[in-house]
């Protein structure tokens, strides 16, 4: 098969690594990709949100399958446009991707289908926001639309919440924050569950736990994720079943019954509260760095799983997983998630990647004019270790990180520590 993969982050590097390993893959093209993906396929310079160019390229290949990594092209309707050209694409349509693209849509959908979640109040003006914030006190303020992972503020006080609501309504995230959702703040450990949905059926993929804060001890600003563990330590098999029965399968049934069947990966962000798991958010794609911690454990051919998802045949599909644990440590540019310098040289990556129990996935890297690997993004590398226990996987991951020569980078030293 000729496969076109869309995206350029660590998540897409992990996807490229898995797709290239499939016996079904004859040719892999990645738009736009990054230097770490070059061994797996051809890189073409088309941006992930350039919907028309991607469709033209896929038509000319011609692609037998397009795999969409990030949320923006999904929400912009890339899969719909490819389907109009009869090109099979892995990922939900724009309407189904609203589960991530609109927080208000997702909350109202869960309410219609009795899916457990905190109380929520959509608003489009500051006076209404203040009314709900005063009633809730400590609460969560969310921009309705996509805000590159920055549109959620967990406010300890009503004053903080009002300040966040004002900034967002005043245009902090443009049209994405013209509407907000004010939510009750719930508490408990967080975990994520990943499932495949084929429009009707839903099967469990795997679980993971992200580390969102920039610094050790869960301090510092929120980031896209500084490291991850799989399986998620807190999601035992009983809880996995509960999440599948009370959340994931009702999503599959509900989207089908509303005429917007969901096909693709559903990423369920969960809070494990005293009264059971509740939905914090849905994402319509793999997580980053969750893909880098989950895919090394996959023992089933990923392309077959994607085809079963597109062809509505997950009901007969069996996914197998390595029983080992995986831990991913993200190496970021100093300053991230704020401003950072670009162009520092990274050395000795090869020594950290043995392709068995130590893997290095690239994100914000580029080759400079002299062919040296340099850091050009915020999150730059994701280093994954595998082991028979979480502790063994953690030790393997940090052993690999220590081999990488990049003084301008930083990483958390407490990923997966108990
Ligand atoms: N790691 C969080 C995300 O991918 O949204």
Q: Return d(Cα 208, Cα 229) in angstroms, integer.
A: 5
Nearest CA, atom 5, ligand 1: 287
- Whether residue 409 has its Cβ less than 6 Å from ligand 1: no
The closest-lying atom of ligand 1 relative to the alpha carbon of residue 287 is 4
Q: How far is the CA of 190 from the centre of ligand 1 (A)?
A: 13
Among 158, 160, 176, 156, residue whose Cα is nearest residue 168? 176
Provide block-wise average pLDDT over 10 residues at a time, the chain (418 residues). 98 98 98 98 98 98 98 98 98 98 98 98 97 95 93 94 97 96 96 98 97 95 95 96 98 98 98 97 97 98 98 94 98 96 97 97 97 97 98 98 98 94
- Whether residue 283 has its Cβ less than 6 Å from ligand 1: yes
- Whether residue 224 has its Cβ less than 6 Å from ligand 1: yes
Name the residue with tokens 């028979």. Answer: 388
Q: Return d(Cα 22, Cα 41) in angstroms, integer.
A: 13
Which pLDDT score is estimated for 59? 98
Q: How far is the CA of 107 from the centre of ligand 1 (A)?
A: 19
- Whether residue 210 has its Cβ less than 6 Å from ligand 1: yes
- Whether residue 12 has its Cβ less than 6 Å from ligand 1: no
Residues whose CB falls within 8 Å of the CB of residue 90, separated by 6 or more in sequence, listed in order: 65, 66, 67, 68, 263, 264, 306, 309, 310
- Whether residue 287 has its Cβ less than 6 Å from ligand 1: yes
CATH number for the domain whose boundaries are 190-316: 3.30.470.20
Decide which of 3.10.580.10, 3.40.630.20, 3.90.800.10, 3.40.50.20 is the CATH code for 2-95.
3.40.50.20
Class at the top of the CATH hierarchy for domain 119-184: alpha beta
135-145 in b/e form (b: 16+ CB < 10 A) is ebeebbbbbbb
Nearest CA, atom 3, ligand 1: 287
Which pLDDT score is estimated for 130? 97
Contact between residue 209 and residue 78 where contact means Cβ atoms under 8 Å apart: no
- For strands 180-184 and 120-123, give the pairing: antiparallel
- Mutation pick for ligand 1 pocket among 287, 294, 337, 379 (CB with most ligand atoms within 8 Å): 287
Q: How far is the CA of 224 from the centre of ligand 1 (A)?
A: 6
Question: What are the residue boundaries of the structural domains of the chain, listed by start?
Answer: 2-95, 119-184, 190-316, 325-410
3-state SS string over the chain?
A: CEEEEEECCHHHHHHHHHHHCCCCCCEEEEEECCHHHHHHCEECCCCCCCHHHHHHHHHHCCCCEEEECCHHHHHCCHHHHHHHCCCCEECCCCCCCHHHHCHHHHHHHHHHCCCCCCCEEEECCHHHHHHHHHHHCCEEEEECCCCCCCCEEEECCHHHHHHHHHHHHCCCCHHHHCCEEEEECCCCCEEEEEEEEECCCEEEEEEEEECCEEECCCEEEECCCCEEEECCCCCCHHHHHHHHHHHHHHHHHHHHHCCCCCEEEEEEEEEEECCEEEEEEEECCCCCCHHHHHHHHECCCHHHHHHHHHCCCHHHCCCCECCCEEEEEEEEECCCCCCCCCCEECECHHHHCCCCCEEEEECCEEECCCCCEEECCCEEEEEEEEECCHHHHHHHHHHHHHHCECCCEECCCCCCCC
Contact between residue 232 and residue 211 where contact means Cβ atoms under 8 Å apart: no
- Whether residue 225 has its Cβ less than 6 Å from ligand 1: yes
CATH number for the domain whose boundaries are 325-410: 3.90.600.10
The closest-lying atom of ligand 1 relative to the alpha carbon of residue 228 is 1
Q: Which residues pair with 331 in a beta bridge?
A: 381
The closest-lying atom of ligand 1 relative to the alpha carbon of residue 286 is 4
Which pLDDT score is estimated for 418? 74
Which pLDDT score is estimated for 150? 87
Which pLDDT score is estimated for 158? 96
The closest-lying atom of ligand 1 relative to the alpha carbon of residue 283 is 5
Q: How far is the CA of 321 from the centre of ligand 1 (A)?
A: 21
């Amino acid at each position: 098969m000729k496969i076109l993969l869309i995206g350029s982050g660590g998540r897409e590097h992990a996807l490229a690594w898995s797709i290239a390993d499939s016996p079904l893959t004859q040719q892999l093209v990645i738009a736009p990709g990054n230097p770490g993906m070059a061994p797996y396929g051809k890189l073409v310079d088309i941006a992930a949100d350039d919907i028309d160019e991607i469709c033209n390229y896929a038509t000319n290949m011609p692609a037998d399958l397009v795999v969409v990594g990030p949320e923006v092209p999904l929400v912009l309707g890339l899969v719909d446009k490819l389907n109009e050209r009869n090109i099979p694409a892995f990922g939900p349509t724009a309407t189904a991707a609203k589960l991530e693209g609109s927080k208000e849509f997702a909350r109202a959908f869960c309410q219609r289908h009795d899916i457990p979640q905190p109380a929520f109040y959509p608003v489009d003006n500051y006076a209404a926001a203040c009314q709900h914030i005063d009633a809730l006190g400590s609460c969560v303020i969310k921009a309705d639309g996509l805000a590159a992972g920055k549109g959620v503020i967990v406010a300890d006080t009503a004053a903080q919440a009002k300040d966040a609501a004002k900034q967002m309504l005043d245009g902090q995230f443009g049209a994405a924050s013209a509407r907000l959702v004010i939510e009750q703040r719930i508490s408990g450990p967080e975990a994520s569950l990943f499932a495949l949905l084929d429009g009707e059926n839903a099967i469990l993929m795997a679980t993971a736990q992200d580390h969102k804060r920039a610094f050790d001890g869960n301090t510092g600003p929120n980031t896209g994720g500084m490291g991850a563990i799989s399986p998620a330590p807190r999601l035992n098999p009983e809880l996995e079943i509960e999440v599948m029965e009370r959340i994931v399968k009702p999503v599959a049934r509900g989207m089908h019954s509303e005429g917007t069947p969901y096909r693709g990966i559903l990423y369920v962000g969960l809070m494990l509260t005293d009264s059971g798991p509740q939905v914090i958010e849905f994402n319509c794609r793999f997580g980053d760095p969750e893909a880098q911690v989950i895919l090394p454990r996959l023992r089933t051919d990923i392309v077959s799983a994607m085809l079963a998802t597109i062809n509505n045949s997950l009901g007969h599909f069996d996914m197998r997983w390595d029983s080992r644990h995986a831990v991913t440590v993200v190496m970021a540019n100093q300053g991230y998630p704020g401003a950072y310098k670009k162009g520092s040289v990274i050395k000795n990556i090869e020594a950290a990647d043995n392709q068995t129990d130590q893997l290095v996935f690239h994100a914000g890297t580029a080759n400079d004019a002299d062919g040296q690997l340099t850091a050009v993004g915020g999150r730059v590398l994701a280093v994954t270790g595998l082991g028979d226990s979480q502790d063994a996987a953690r030790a393997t991951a940090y052993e690999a990180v220590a081999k990488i020569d990049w003084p301008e980078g930083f990483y958390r030293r407490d990923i997966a520590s108990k």
